Structure 1
Amino acid sequence: MKLAENMLFKYGSGKVIRVLYINPFTSIIYVIDMDSNRWSYPIPKDDFLTAYQNKEMIEENDDIYCRAVPEEELNELEKQKRDQAWEIVTFFKSKLSDDEHMFISKYRQKAMKETMAVFSISYNGLKNILIKYFKGSQTKCSLIPSYFRSGARGKERKAGNKKRGRPRKNGENAGVNIDENIKKVFKIGLNRYYYNTRKNSLKTTYELILKDFFVKEVIDENGVKIPVLNNVKDLPTYEQFLYWFRKSLNDGKREIIKREGTRVYQQNYRAIIGSSTQDAELGPGTLFQIDSTIFDCHLVSSFNRDIIVSRPILFLIMDVYSRLIVGFNITFESLNSYSGAMVALANSMTSKKELCKKYGIEIEDNEFPFCVPNRILSDRGELVNGYINGSIQNLGIIIQQTPAYHADYKGIIEQAFNQTNIKILPFVDGAVIGGNSKRERGEGLDYRLKSSMTIEDFTKVIIKSILFHNNHHVLSDYILEESMIENNVEKIPIRLWEHGLKYKKGQLRILPEEVIKTSLLPSQSGLITPKGLSFKKMLYASKYALENNWFQMARIKGNWKVKVCYNPTDLTDVLVFDEHGDGPFKFSLLEHLSMYSGKGESEIEQIKNFERELERTGKERELQEKMKLFTEIEDIVKEAREKTEAEKNYSKSNSRRLKGIKENQKNERLLHREKAKKEREMEVILDESIEEEDEFAMFRDWEESNDDE
C-alpha cells in the first residue's frame, strides 16, 4: 500500500482517521480522529501498516468530509468567515519552521499564542479552526461554515414593495429598495467620479450620482433652470450606496490603479513573488508552473479529414523541482482561456491512466505522476481571472504570477515547449516551417494543405512525447544536489521526482477527484427533462437519476435546472449537482449520441455546423425540385381541365351531376378491373408471339448455316 496525505482509514469499531503528515525520516504518521475534537496524534508507521495488514482497519475511499462547494454557491458572510479563518491559519503556519510542527504540541502552542495575540481569538476558538482545517484535507474549502447549505445560500432578495433592512428610527430616511437599475446607476457614477485621478471621496461620488440621476429641473420666474432633488423617500441613502460598494461593486485592484496609478500598485499592492524556482527545493509538488502556446502544426477535423482546422493550443504543467510534466491539455479554445488552463490543472492533480487508455496507451501512475501542489506559478494570461484564483485557492493552493514581459520567470516550461517541438515537428504534416505556414512566391504547395492529423492523433503524439520526457529525457542543465550525487541519481525527471519523495517531500498531497474537478472545471446550468439531462444540446443520463426517478418527475412536474460541471475538451461525461447542492453525480451521454463520445465542445460544434450545412444544401435542392414539381402538377391539371371541359355536358344540372356518386365510383372500379384484365391478356399474347418468332428465327439461322456448307 502506498500512503499519501489526506487518505482516510476506518477501524472495525467505526472510528475514522485521516493521515495528516508522514515523516520520511522518523517513520512517524500523524493522524486525526474525524469523530472527535481532539488534536492529532502520532502513530509509528510499522504499527499503522501492521493494523492495515491485519485488517483492523481499511482504506475509506468515500471522503465525505472534504466538501466540493462551488464559489458562486457561497454568500458574502460565508466567504468572509472562510477568508478570516484562512488568514488565521496562514498566519499560524507562518510561525512554524516546518509543517510537522503543526502536529507537535511544544511547537504548536508557541505559534498559537502569537496567533491568539494578533487576532484576539481564544484558545478554543483557534483550536476549533485548526481542527476543522485538518479534518477537511487542509484546504481553504474546509473552513467554510457548516451552515453553507441552509437558507438561500447568499442569493439576493428580490425587491418588492416593502422596504428591506432594519426599520429606521425618528423618521429618518429609510431609502429605497436597491434594484438592478439603481445598482447600474451606482456603477456608472463610480466609473465617472471615483475611478479616476481626481480622487473624489465616496461621499462626494454619492452626491454627484444624486445630481446626475435623482434630480429634476424646475424653471423659476426668471427662466433659470434649477436642479431639484426628488422626494427624499425616493432617494437611496449614502449607507445603502456604501453597502453595495463594499459588497459587490468595488474592485480593489482597479481602485488603486485608477486613483493611484499602475506603478504604485505594482510597487506597493501587488502580490509578492520570487523567482521561478523559489522554495522548489522543498521537493516534488511544492511548485508547479503552467504555460500555453499555439503549437506549430495544423490539424484536420476529426469528423471530416478534408477540413483543415488550424493550429491547436497546448497547455503544459511542470513540477519545478523535478522538471517532470505532470499535466497537459490540448484545445482549440483561445490562448490563455479559462477552460483550457483549468482542464490542464485538473489533469495535473488526477490520474491519467484512463485518459491514456482512451487513446490506446497503457500506463501506470508512476510513469505519469500527479498530486495537489502547494503553489502554482503562471504569467498574466492563464490564471489572471479572479474566479479562477478563488477556485484554485479553495484547494489550498497559493497562486503566484510573473510580472508582465518576464517570460524568463518560467524558463523551464518554455524549454519544455521547445523540446516538444524538436521531437514532433520533423515528422508531422502541416508543420509551420520558419515561423510561417503560408506559401511564399515561387515555392511549392502551402504547408497547411499537407495537414493530416486530427486532434486525437495529435493528443497521442503529445502523450508519447510527455512519457518520453518524464521517463527517459536527460536534463543536461539540471544542477544535482549533494545527496543526489551520493545516491547516483540520474538527471531524468522521474528519477528526480522519486528522489525528492524519498529524501525531501516524503508524501504527496492528494484530494478526491470530484473535489478537484468541481473546483476547477467550468460550470453551467443544465435542464432535467423527461428525455434526460439536456446540456449543450445533448442528452445525458445516470444510474442515480434513473433510480431516483428524475426523468419521470420531470414529465409529471415539469423540467428543472441543475448545476453541471464539465470538461470542454471531452463532453462524454459531466458532473451534476441537484437543486439542493448535493452531488456531484456522474452523467454520461445517451447511447444514440455515442458519435459525440470523446469529443470536445469545439469539435461537436463543428459536427453540428457540418450537419446544418448539409441540411441547408439539401433544402436548397429540395426547394428547386419542389418548383419543378409544382410546374409539372400545374401542367397535368391544365391538361385534365381542358379534356374535361371538352367532354362536359352543360345541359346537366349540378344536382344531377352530383347524384349517384357512389354508384359511379363502383362502375369506375369495375371498368378499371376490366381494363387491367385485358392488359394482362394482351401481355400474354405478346409474349407468346415473341417466343414463336424466336423459334422461327432459330430455324432460319439453322437453314442458312446448312446452305453455307
Structure 2
Amino acid sequence: MQVELNSVWQVNGVDGLEKALYRVLQLYMKQRVVILFPLSDSKALLRPVKIDFDNFSEAIKVGNARPSRYDLPYYQLQYDDEISREHLTKRDEKYTLIVDLVSNPDFLLSFVERPRSKLVSLHAKTHNTYVQNIYRALNLYWKYAQERNALLPGYKNSGGRGKARVAGEIKRGSPIQLSSSSIEAPKGVNTSESDKELFIKAMKKFGLRGEEVKFSRVYDKMLKEYYAEELISAEAESREAKVPNYRAFIYWVKKLIPTDTLIRKQTNQGDFDRNKRGLRGAATDHTEGPGSCFELDATVLDVHIVSDFQRNHVLGRPTVYCVVDKESRMIVGLHVSLEYASWRAGRQALINSFTSKKEYCAQFDIEIEESEWPCSHIPLRLLCDRGEFICKDAENLAVPLIGHLSIAPPYRAELKGIVEHRFNILNEKLVHELPGTTKGKQYDRSVKDPRLDATFTLREITKLLIDEVLEHNSSIFQDLAKQSILLIESGLSPTPLNYWNQHVKAQRHALSKADEVHVRSRLLPTTKVTMTGKGIRLNDQMYFESDHPDFDAWKIIARNNGSWSLDALVDHDNSSLLYVRLEEEGSFIKCYLKKESANFANRHQADILFFKDWVKLEKNKAKPSAKSIERHNRKKQVIESAIEDTKLEPKVGSKSKRTKGMKARRREAILAQRLEESGAKPDQEYSSVNSEQSSQRIDDDRKKVISILKRKKVTDNET
C-alpha cells in the first residue's frame, strides 16, 4: 500500500511508536525515513517522530498500521470569502512566523534528528516572539494537513461552550418583561442540580410514556408531585414560591434530553417507524426491474355510491384494491367492490392483475389497445397486508402461482409506500372532486351529509377509476428518470408506461405469463351450478349458454331425464361470464349470459345480491290490502249465494238428465243475453235465430256427407 503525504494511519504495535493516530508529514526516500506527527486532542505541544520507511512498510503489510482518517475542523473547510477579515489577519500573522521553517525541505529531518537544535529559538528571536508561539503554530500546521487555513482561530469551544457552569447566587437569565412599571416582577430562583434531576425524573414519569404530552402539562404535574411542600408553604406565608419557572423547565429539558430521544419517547413504535424515523433509502433500492415486486393494498374509497337498480338507495363507500409494480410505479391491477378488505376481494384484484386489460375495459365500454395497458403478468414477489393474505387459501392458491408472498408487519404502512401513495394520487385527482365524496374527513354535523349527494353507481365509479389509472400510467414521475438509463437512451419521457415497455423490451424484468383459464381456476371461488333444459342456471335466476358442440344435446337430456350439478368459477366483477367444467374430467370453459338474463349483464356481484335481497324484501312485504280483502269477501259471498240458490232448485235424478240438452239450453241462454242487450222482441229474435240455426244445420249436414269406397272383391286364386 502506498504511503502518501498528509495521509493518516492508525498505528498499533510498531517499535518506537505509541498506539495512536499519525499523520505523514514528509518522506525522505534518500534516507529511507518517514516523518510522522501524532494526532491528539490534547493541548500539550507535540513533536514529530522519525521511523524507518522499511519498518513502516512492513507494519502496513502485517496490519499494524492501517489507513484511517482525521476530520478537519469546520472553519478550515470554508472559502476565504466566507471568513471574517479579523480571522484572516490572525491566520496570516501566524503563518508569517513559520513560513520560512515549513518552506525549508530539510527542516523536519533536522528538527527530529537534533531535539536540542536552536533553529526554532533563533527563528523566534528573529520575529521577536516566544518560542512557544512558534511551536503552537507548527503543531496546528502539522495537525491539520499542513495548509495555511490550519492556523485559523478555532473558537468553536471558546467560553466553555457545551460545558455546564457552576451556578452562583446571582439570578441568571433574562427577567420577566412587564409593560407596567407599577408592577414588580418576581425575582425567581436559579436552577440547581437537584432541580435538573427532578426535571428529568418528571419527564420520564409524565412526558416520555409513548404519547405526545405538552410540556406545560408535565410542568404542572411536576410542581404538584415534587414541589408540593414549597408551594403549600409559600401560600401559607403569602410569598412567591421558590420553584423553577416554566421557561427554565423548557430550557433544561431540551438541553438535558436529546431531541431524538424526545421524539422517540413521545410516540409509539409503530407511529415512529411509519412517520418519524430517519429514511434509509428509496423504496426501489431492492428491486431490479418491473415484476420484481408487486404491492397490493386496499382502502375504503372516499365517496358514497348508489344502487344500480335504484339510484335513490345509498350503498355506502366501496372498497378499492390497487396492485402496483414497485419499480415502475405502474398500476397493474384494479378492483372495486362493496366487499370489505378480504381474501375474497383481494383475489379478484390479483385476477385483474394477471389477465388482459383490454377485455376488462371493454366490460365498461372503454375501448383500449393492449399497448395502452400492457399488464397481464405474474410478478416474482407480492407484498401485501396480513389481513387478506395470511390465510390458508392465499398460501395454497396464490403462492404456487406467484412464487413468493411477502406479508408486511402490522401497523407498517410505509413498507408499502408505493401503493399507498397511489391511493393519495387517485383521491386528489379524481375522488375528492366527485359528488358524494367525504374528502377523507370524518362526518361533521356542521356540513352537509355527503351521503345525500351520492350520485354514482359502482359501475360508474369503476369506469372513472379506470380512466384515471390510464392517465396515471401515462403521467411523468421524475424519480423514474434516475432509476434507469433506458428512458434517456430511448428519448422517452419518464412515465410508468414507458418505463414498463422499455424494460420489457430490453428483457430487464422479472415478469412471467400464465394462461387466463389457469389463473382463474387457481383464484376464482368454486360454486355449484345446475344444468337444465334452458341452460346452465346460477342463483335460480341467471342462465348461461356455451359454444360447446354437445351443449344442445345436454339441454335435451336435462329437460327429459332431469338436471344435474356442475362445478363453476364465479367472477364477481363480471356477471356476464361463468367458467364451468362441463365434462367430468375436462377443463373450465367460458359460458355466456343468455338474452333472457340480460338485466344482469356486466354487473358486479354486489348488484346481483342487491337484486336478490330486493326480491326477498318485496315478497316479505306482500301482505293483503284492504281492496284485496274486499274482493276476497265478495268472492266468498258470491260462492255462498250460488250454493244456496242451487240447493233451492229441485234435484234431478241422474247425471245424464242433468247434462242432457246442454246445447239447447246454451242457445237459449245466448238468446236471452242478446235480448237483454238489444231490447228486441222475443218472437222476432227467436224466429231469426231459428232460421239461422236451421240453415246452419243444413250446411253442417251437407258437410258431414262422406263417400265410402267400395270393397274390392277377393278371388279364390288370391286367397
Q: TM-score, normalised by structure 1?
A: 0.51
> Which of residues 517, 524, 532 in structure 2 aligns to 1:521?
524
In the aligned structure 2, how far is the partner of 1:659 from the partner of 1:506?
95
Cα distance in 1 between the residues matched to 2:653 and 2:514: 92
SS at match of 1:326: strand
1:394 pairs with 382, 387, 400, which one? 400
Structure 2 residue identity aligned to 1:526? V
- Of residues 669, 676, 685, the one that matches 1:679 is 676
SS in 2 for 1:461: helix
- Paired residue for 2:457? 454
Q: Matched residue of 2:393: which SS?
A: helix
Q: SS state of the match for residue 452, structure 1?
A: coil
- Give the 5 Å matches for 1:616-695: 616-617=620-621, 619-621=622-624, 624-636=626-638, 654=651, 660-662=657-659, 669=666, 671-682=668-679
Q: Does 1:418 align with 2:424?
A: yes
Asked whether the 8 Å contact 1:545–1:551 carries over to 2, the reply is no
Residue type of the partner of 1:590?
K
Alignment of 1:485-524 (within 5 A): 486-487=488-489, 490-503=493-506, 505=508, 508-524=511-527
**Which residue of structure 2 aligns with residue 470 of structure 1?**
473
1:302-336 per-residue CA deviation (whole Å, 9 max, x = no partner) reads 1121211111110000001100101111111122x
- Unpaired runs of 5+ in structure 1? 1-273, 685-709
Instruction: Give SS of 1:292's match.
Output: strand
Whole-angstrom CA distance in 1 between matches of 2:397 and 2:373: 24
Alignment match of 1:363 (pick from 361, 364, 368): 368
Q: Which one of 407, 411, 436 corresponds to residue 413 of structure 2?
A: 407
Q: Give the Cα separation in 2 of the matches to 1:640 and 1:456.
A: 59
- 1:505 is paired with a residue of what secondary structure? coil
After superposition, the C-alpha distances for 1:75-127 in whole angstroms (9 at most, x for unaligned) are xxxxxxxxxxxxxxxxxxxxxxxxxxxxxxxxxxxxxxxxxxxxxxxxxxxxx
Amino acid at match of 2:320: L
CA distance in 2, matches of 1:379, 1:641: 75
Letter in 2 for 1:313: T
| Residue aligning to 2:386 | 380
Q: Please give the alpha-carbon distance, in whole angstroms, between the structure 1 residues aligned to 2:287 and 2:654.
A: 106
Return the match for 2:550 from 546, 551, 555: 546
Larger deviation, residues 521-530 vs 291-300: 521-530
Paired AA for residue 354 in structure 2: M
Q: Specify the alignment match of 2:350 in structure 1.
A: 345
3-state SS, counterpart of residue 287 of structure 2: helix
Q: How far apart in 2 are the matches of 1:340 and 1:678?
A: 74
Question: 1 CA distance for matches of 2:322 and 2:467?
Answer: 14
Q: What is the deviation of 1:406? A: 0.8
Aligned to 2:535: 532
The alpha-carbon deviation at position 605 of structure 1 amounts to 1.5
Equivalent residues of 1:275, 1:409 under 8 A apart: no
Query: What is the aligned partner in structure 2 of residue 294 from structure 1?
Result: 300
Aligned in 2, Cα 1:481/1:658: closer, same or farther, shift over 3 Å? closer
SS in 1 for 2:401: coil
Alpha-carbon shift at residue 641 of structure 1 (Å) = 7.0
1:592 CA drift (Å): 0.8
2:482 aligned residue (480, 483, 495): 480
Contact 2:380 2:510 in 1 (8 A): no
CA contact (8 A) 1:339 1:568 kept: no
Counterparts in 2 of 1:13-32, with a 5 A limit?
Answer: none
Deviations 1:449-478 (A, max 9, x none): 211101111011000100010012x32455
Q: Using the alignment, how far apart are the partners of 1:312 and 1:496 within structure 2?
A: 31
SS in 2 for 1:362: coil
2:477 partner amino acid: L
SS in 2 for 1:309: strand
Aligned residues: 400
Equivalents in 1 of 2:286, 2:546: separation in Å?
43
| 2:286 corresponds to 1:283 | no
Q: How does 1:28-43 map to 2 (within 5 A)?
A: none
Q: Tell me whether 392-401 or 290-299 shows the greater mean CA deviation.
A: 392-401
**Would the aligned equivalents of 2:290 and 2:510 in 1 still touch at CA under 8 Å?**
no
Deviation of 1:515 after TM superposition, in Å, equals 1.4
Q: Which residue of 2 aligns with 1:573?
A: 577
Q: Whole-Å Cα distance in 2 between the matches of residues 670 and 530 of structure 1? A: 46
Cα–Cα, structure 1 residues 556 and 545, in superposed 2: closer, same or farther, change >3 Å?
farther
State the AA in 1 paired with 2:585. G
Please give the alpha-carbon distance, in whole angstroms, between the structure 1 residues aligned to 2:679 and 2:363.
68
- Answer whether contact 1:276 1:377 (CA < 8 A) is retained: no
2:428 counterpart SS class: helix
Residue in structure 2 matching 1:592, options 567, 589, 596? 596
Structure having the higher Rg: 2
Distance in structure 2 (CA, Å) of the matches to 1:669 and 1:556: 43
Shift in CA distance, 545/298, structure 1 to aligned 2, threshold 3 Å: farther
> Shift in Å at residue 558 of structure 1?
4.6
What is residue 698 of structure 1 aligned with on the other side? none
> What's the CA shift for 1:383?
1.6
> 1:678, 1:595 → 2: CA distance?
53
Contact kept? 1:392, 1:520, Cα under 8 Å: yes
Alignment check: 8 A CA contact 2:290 2:503 kept: yes
Q: C-alpha deviations, 1:387-445, integer Å up to 9, x for none?
A: 222222222521111111111100111010011011113431111145234x61x544x
Unaligned runs of 5+ in 2: 1-279, 682-719
Aligned to 1:9: none
One-letter code aligned to 1:498:
N
Kindly indicate whether structure 1 or structure 2 has the higher relative contact order, using CA contacts under 8 Å at least 6 residues apart: 1
List per-residue Cα deviations over 1:188-220 (Å, max 9, x = no partner). Answer: xxxxxxxxxxxxxxxxxxxxxxxxxxxxxxxxx
The one-letter amino acid paired with 1:305 is: R
Q: Which residue of 2 aligns with 1:321?
A: 327
Matches within 5 A, 1:111-150: none
TM-score by length of 2: 0.51
CA gap of 1:552–1:675, structure 2 versus 1, over 3 A, is closer
The answer on whether the counterparts of 1:394 and 1:519 sit within 8 Å (CA) in structure 2 is no
Distance in 2 of aligned mates of 1:638 and 1:486: 96
Report the equivalent of 2:441: 435
Offset, 1:508: 4.2
Distance in 2 (CA, whole Å) between partners of 1:352 and 1:632 is 63
Identical aligned pairs, as a percentage? 25
